Amino acid sequence: MTEMLKAGQKIPEFSSVDQEGKALTSSTLMGKPSVIYFYPRDDTPGCTVEACEFRDSMGDFSGLGVGVYGVSVDTEASHKKFHQKFGLNFPLIVDKDKKISEAFGVLNGNTAKRTTFIADSGGKIVHVFEKVSPRGHSSEVHAKLDELKLIK
């Protein structure tokens, strides 16, 4: 397994699609700070709590010029169903071949470890949350963005 990326490293190049089949690449994330959170599976209890908290605070994140992206090894169809069921308002990146999770160093067998990366507008990782607890994580990320002075 690839070693987990650390603060100071650039996000790896990747190319995939979101829940709607829209192309997304590492370049898509450039130009504004990004929150890239990896989660094990769509529509499971912890993953739903985490996604819904990001959904509920998305106005804060987007209003501050920050992009939020969820990533798991689920399929486009699974992401779409999860996205629609909970009215998510940010992209879910498809990683069914597990290459993105592997590149970030968070692949754990057949799923991704619950890990969140904050990258600056140039794609440099400025903070990593390991062993994330889903409840309250969105607030924790917001506080870190504020502390790092990444929000406008």
User: Active-site positions?
Assistant: 47
Measured from the Cβ of residue 126, the count of other Cβ atoms closer than 10 Å reads 16
With beta carbons less than 8 A apart as the criterion, state whether 127 and 141 touch. Answer: no
Dist. CA 72–CA 96, nearest whole Å: 8
C-alpha closest to that of 71 among 33, 99, 45:
99
Q: Hey, what amino acid is at 108?
A: N
Give the CA distances from residue 65 to residues 34, 54, 91, in Å, rounded to whole numbers and listed in that order: 9, 15, 15
Q: What is the 3-state secondary structure (H, E, C) of 26-87?
A: HHHHCCCCEEEEECCCCCCHHHHHHHHHHHHCHHHHHHCCCEEEEEECCCHHHHHHHHHHCC
